[in-house]
A and B are shown apart, each in its own frame.
Chain A
Amino acid sequence: MAEQRAQPIAVDRGFWTVTLVLAVLAVASIVFWILFPISKYLPEAIITARQVDTMFRFMAASGSALYVFIVGYLIYFSIAFRAKATDPPDAIGVQIHDNPKLEFWWTLLPAIFVLLLSVISVRIWYEILLEPENGLVIQAIGHQFYFSFRYPNVNGEITDEMHLPLGEPVTLNLTSADVIHGFWVPAMRLKNDTVPGLVTTIRFTPQLAGRYEIICTQFCGVLHSQMHKQVLVIEDRASFDKWYQGWQQRNAHVSNALPAAPGQAISLQGGDAAAGKTLFAQKCTACHKLAPFDQRLVGPGLQGVLHDPAHPNLVNGKPATPENVAGILQNGFTGSLGTMPNASANGLSSQDIANLVAFLNTLKL
């Protein structure tokens, strides 16, 4: 190609004019994000929600200022340096390979910004983490496809909405009975997954009364999109207490034992066969008949399961002993017939398992 080095282009007045315009636009966008009334669209229901919004304002303001400059220059250069009809067809641009000074600054400034951003986000994150630990301790449990709640001194799980008193710190322990769910309250800007076999904790203090959505954000099965619940933050302490005591009375006779976790040691001592019989009618008869082995519903008939010479082994191949039956009740089993849910899915505590095994042991062929 011919030697046709074009003259270097000076940073001219057009450039500075455009820079000025972009600077004005960038400032305008920063002001926009500072003034934008986020809480008008989504209430800030807890104290730290405001911090998250501040974080967002900061990032949105700096991000849009940066974006204004990049896209602004992109458009300006695209127009100013387009090949014109008057240019010869083989005209070339100014061959600038690099500019160490410029490159140094546009590496250093983002690096400094990253440092600043790190400091800000760590600070705000610690404010979220360091919410007070004392206060109301609630456990939220994800199920397919609803959330339920355990309150101190209330037996069993509350499957209605979650109520919280205004201004009192809350420690929310999240776990799941089946698959991973996401526990998200948009108005609180808080979320954590409910993971089976794991307890994760979030803490917050409600600062605004109202009714807010709890939404599942982690795909959990076919009805995931309908997995909603509500949380009601109540300003009036008396009406919260009323609701709380109402549940205490309503659930007074519900068993409060936690389901047996996998791996937890289970004592079969003191199994109550009579209680096991009641429990069997509640929990097992959907899939199992009290009839000989070959009378199936979903699973086999369980009459004489521990005393059947024709079937000395259980479905998992282990000998039919009380301990192994308890193992299946505790851990469940998946085989060709389908899935026998485990204790946490069936809501069986270790005492329940002992009772059931005692009951099954009484059944003779």
Chain B
Amino acid sequence: MSVAAVHSGGIADHIHPEPQGFIRRYVFSLDHKIIGIQYLVTGFVFFMLSGLLAETIRTQLLNPNGGFVSPETYNEVYSIHGSAMVWLVVIPLLTGGFGNLVFPVQIGARDVAFPWLNMLSFWIFPVSGLMLFSSFLMGAPTAGWMEYPPVSLQGQAGTSMWAAAIFLVGVSSTMTGLNFLVTILKMRAPGMTFTRMPLFVWGQFATAPLLMIATTALAAALAALFINREFGVPFYDPTKGGSPVMWQHMFWFYSHPAVYIMILPAFGIISEVLPTFARKSIFGYKMIAFSSAAIALLGFMVWAHHMFTSGLAPFLQLPFMILTYIIGVPTGIKIFSWTATLWGGKIHYSTAMLFAIGFVALFTLGGITGIFLAAIPFDLHVHGTYFIVGHIHYVLVGGSMMGIFAGMYYWFPKMSGRLLNETLGKWHFWLFFIGFNGTFIPMHWLGMLGMPREVATYDPQFTFWNRFETFASYLMTFAILIFFVNIIWSIRYGKKAGANPWGARTLEWQVPSPPHYYNFKHVPTVYGLPYDFSQPLPYKGLEEELTDSPPAVAAGAH
């Protein structure tokens, strides 16, 4: 206490000494950058496991009669694939991973608001991931990632384990959201107003309340499912007066915002990568920033568009259809703005940029089919078919995963000090792009012609396209293997990056790679938006960052 009283500075002047020792530094670390890397590593491990499950699914579908695994196993495999990809890969990578790694530096903070909470959120995540995968040992859930009761009430013992695991990972997300929201609201550097925040921060800023509020609703739904299964309390059991449709309401009240949790940070990544490599200011900064907020807000009002076939009254369905259409407008603004950003640029084709452009192309297709699905007459035809499977993968793989890859190629030098190999990166991009489209485009017409989702066997008339998809998916897997090889190789032998290999202008690139434990020697003052390449950098107080001088404020004991 007395130390703090000597210099009456606030948090910005308060530097903790870097903890020594491997455990405190790299395992139970309080440093947001280390925690971000921990999230990324854990998330990519789960990504590999879920990818194996995905290939099991596709291999099963080589033949109309399946035969690779039994239908029981197949149902378990796709359920865990979906759950793991959503809760253990995409959400943690984009919020916990890139969020932790980048945005506190981008707003000029020394750390997030609650470092201990941050550490706790992280450590809950691998535990719940192991719980989710361990449900295979006791009979995994089989009803897909949505686990609609009553069929999930009949599910094997692992279904309860699934609910507990998702509940825990939800607790972790909620804490992360709370932490990020407080950090962005209260810990921005002097001069960093809301309209000067980088767009990645805007992405996190729009996501954090969704994490904080929507995830809690899911927690309630999961708790009720768990209680129903384990203690026979009839929340969802129609034979005892419960309502299975209630689960759908509660689940989608979370899971539709979750779609935006999975895409808004990726929007943010793209909005950073595009101007950097086009050497050009982002087009329509305010519109992109505010449309993120608009999407987050509207995201709470459209959940029932997943339930058009569930027997709701028509007058209840109508507003959900129209509100869903309206979400297309802010999303369209973003897409137009990104396209316009390229106009008049000097575009450098690094791998990150290729992924960013690929993102715009693929996500747009997913967005357009999303509007198709919002139209009730058409949704009555394709709901619950492969059309939906195609749509969700265009949004989540063509969108979120492409964003994650772009972010990895972009920020890898910042976290490791070395560049990823560009040749391997370009192989990764092109093989992934081709494999991805080959896998998921045919799903659209398969669904329209009559192939339902979540099936272990299918009508022989669809054999050709299913085989086509399977082989394309092998190509995609091969591309991801290249990516992992690239990472492992580059950590060791990659080209040294220096502080700012891309010539980027946000704050994280003005400090060394990797940044110091305390991020900044002096917290900078911000004078404007970072994106105008013709202007000097809008920061003051960064002169000493790349020199060897010690931080000005002595490390305070605390």
Q: Indicate whether A and B are direct neighbours in the complex (CB within 8 Å).
A: yes
Binding site for B on A (CB under 8 A): 1, 3-6, 8-9, 41-42, 51-52, 55-56, 59-60, 63, 66-67, 70-71, 73-74, 77-78, 81-83, 87, 90-99, 102-103, 106-107, 110-111, 114, 117-118, 121-122, 124-125, 128-129, 178-180, 182, 184, 186, 189-193, 195-198, 200, 213, 215-226, 262-263, 331-332, 334, 342, 344-345
A98: min CB distance to chain B, Å: 5
Using Cβ atoms and an 8 Å threshold, which residues of chain A touch B534? 1, 3-6, 92, 95
Using Cβ atoms and an 8 Å threshold, which residues of chain B touch A74? 339, 342, 357, 360-361
Identity of the chain A residue whose Cβ is nearest the Cβ of B278 in the assembled complex: A93
Contact with A along B490-505 (1 / 0, CB 8 A): 0000000000000100
Using Cβ atoms and an 8 Å threshold, which residues of chain A touch B342? 74, 77-78, 81
Q: Which of B121-129, B260-268, B279-287, B508-516 contacts A (4 or more CB under 8 A)?
A: B279-287
Using Cβ atoms and an 8 Å threshold, which residues of chain A touch B452? 182, 184, 215-217, 225
| Selected contact of B340 from candidates A41, A51, A102, CB within 8 Å | A102
Contact with A along B506-548 (1 / 0, CB 8 A): 0000000000000000000000000111111100000000000
| Selected contact of B384 from candidates A107, A189, A218, A225, CB within 8 Å | A218
A125: min CB distance to chain B, Å: 5
A93-B279, A225-B71, A262-B239 known; A81 vs B381 contact (CB < 8 Å): no
| A111, A125, A220: residue with the most chain B Cβ atoms closer than 10 Å | A125
Residue contact A97 to B532, C-beta cutoff 8 Å = yes
Using Cβ atoms and an 8 Å threshold, which residues of chain B touch A225? 71, 452, 454-458
Contact with A along B267-279 (1 / 0, CB 8 A): 0000000000011
CA distance A345 to B144 in the complex (A): 24
CA distance A211 to B450 in the complex (A): 14
CA distance A9 to B321 in the complex (A): 41
CA distance A226 to B71 in the complex (A): 10
27 A-B pairs within 8 Å (CB atoms) are namely A1-B536, A1-B537, A4-B534, A6-B534, A41-B449, A56-B381, A63-B371, A71-B364, A93-B279, A93-B280, A96-B340, A97-B531, A102-B340, A106-B336, A114-B322, A117-B325, A121-B321, A121-B378, A125-B314, A180-B148, A184-B452, A197-B238, A218-B148, A219-B144, A225-B456, A331-B239, A332-B239
Using Cβ atoms and an 8 Å threshold, which residues of chain B touch A97? 281, 283-285, 531-532
Residue contact A121 to B357, C-beta cutoff 8 Å = no
A186-B450, A220-B151, A226-B457 known; A191 vs B278 contact (CB < 8 Å): no
Contact with A along B154-186 (1 / 0, CB 8 A): 100000000000000000000000000000000
Using Cβ atoms and an 8 Å threshold, which residues of chain A touch B333? 103, 106-107, 110
A63-B368, A215-B452 known; A81 vs B345 contact (CB < 8 Å): yes
**Residue B478 CB within 8 A of the other chain:** no
**Residue B376 CB within 8 A of the other chain:** yes
A1-B534, A77-B339 known; A125 vs B457 contact (CB < 8 Å): no
CA distance A63 to B337 in the complex (A): 18
**Residue B106 CB within 8 A of the other chain:** no
B297: min CB distance to chain A, Å: 16
Residue contact A94 to B154, C-beta cutoff 8 Å = no
7 additional A-B pairs beyond A97-B531, A219-B454, beta carbons within 8 Å, are A52-B380, A52-B381, A55-B378, A74-B360, A83-B346, A83-B347, A222-B71
CA distance A226 to B342 in the complex (A): 50
Residue contact A125 to B376, C-beta cutoff 8 Å = yes
A217: min CB distance to chain B, Å: 3
**Residue B385 CB within 8 A of the other chain:** yes
Identity of the chain B residue whose Cβ is nearest the Cβ of A217 in the assembled complex: B384
A194: min CB distance to chain B, Å: 9
Using Cβ atoms and an 8 Å threshold, which residues of chain A touch B278? 81, 93
| Selected contact of B314 from candidates A81, A129, A263, CB within 8 Å | A129
A139: min CB distance to chain B, Å: 14
Chain B interface residue count, CB cutoff 8 Å, equals: 91
CA distance A145 to B232 in the complex (A): 24
Using Cβ atoms and an 8 Å threshold, which residues of chain B touch A73? 339
**Residue B441 CB within 8 A of the other chain:** no
How many residue pairs bridge A and B at CB < 8 Å? 271
CA distance A67 to B457 in the complex (A): 34
CA distance A283 to B217 in the complex (A): 42
Using Cβ atoms and an 8 Å threshold, which residues of chain B touch A96? 280-281, 283, 340, 343-344
Using Cβ atoms and an 8 Å threshold, which residues of chain B touch A4? 534
Using Cβ atoms and an 8 Å threshold, which residues of chain A touch B385? 184, 217
Using Cβ atoms and an 8 Å threshold, which residues of chain A touch B357? 74, 78
Residue contact A121 to B280, C-beta cutoff 8 Å = no
Residue contact A95 to B280, C-beta cutoff 8 Å = yes
| Selected contact of A121 from candidates B72, B239, B243, B377, CB within 8 Å | B377
Residue contact B279 to A70, C-beta cutoff 8 Å = no
Identity of the chain B residue whose Cβ is nearest the Cβ of A183 in the assembled complex: B309
Using Cβ atoms and an 8 Å threshold, which residues of chain A touch B281? 95-97
Residue contact A42 to B311, C-beta cutoff 8 Å = no
**Residue B59 CB within 8 A of the other chain:** no
B339: min CB distance to chain A, Å: 5
| Selected contact of A224 from candidates B154, B311, B454, CB within 8 Å | B454
Residue contact A67 to B347, C-beta cutoff 8 Å = no
Identity of the chain A residue whose Cβ is nearest the Cβ of B453 in the assembled complex: A217
Using Cβ atoms and an 8 Å threshold, which residues of chain B touch A345? 239
Using Cβ atoms and an 8 Å threshold, which residues of chain B touch A56? 372, 378, 381, 448
**Residue B375 CB within 8 A of the other chain:** yes
CA distance A145 to B128 in the complex (A): 33
**Residue B244 CB within 8 A of the other chain:** yes
Using Cβ atoms and an 8 Å threshold, which residues of chain A touch B383? 182, 191, 217
| Selected contact of B240 from candidates A9, A107, A331, CB within 8 Å | A331
CA distance A128 to B103 in the complex (A): 49
A341: min CB distance to chain B, Å: 9
Using Cβ atoms and an 8 Å threshold, which residues of chain A touch B240? 262, 331
CA distance A22 to B265 in the complex (A): 31
**Residue B142 CB within 8 A of the other chain:** yes
CA distance A60 to B378 in the complex (A): 11
Residue contact B332 to A106, C-beta cutoff 8 Å = yes
CA distance A128 to B308 in the complex (A): 14
Using Cβ atoms and an 8 Å threshold, which residues of chain B touch A106? 332-333, 336
Residue contact A87 to B346, C-beta cutoff 8 Å = yes
Contact with A along B321-339 (1 / 0, CB 8 A): 1100110110011011101
**Residue B245 CB within 8 A of the other chain:** yes
CA distance A110 to B285 in the complex (A): 19
**Residue B150 CB within 8 A of the other chain:** yes
Residue contact B346 to A81, C-beta cutoff 8 Å = yes
Residue contact A59 to B285, C-beta cutoff 8 Å = no
Residue contact A55 to B533, C-beta cutoff 8 Å = no
**Residue B485 CB within 8 A of the other chain:** no
A67-B364, A97-B532, A219-B454 known; A121 vs B343 contact (CB < 8 Å): no
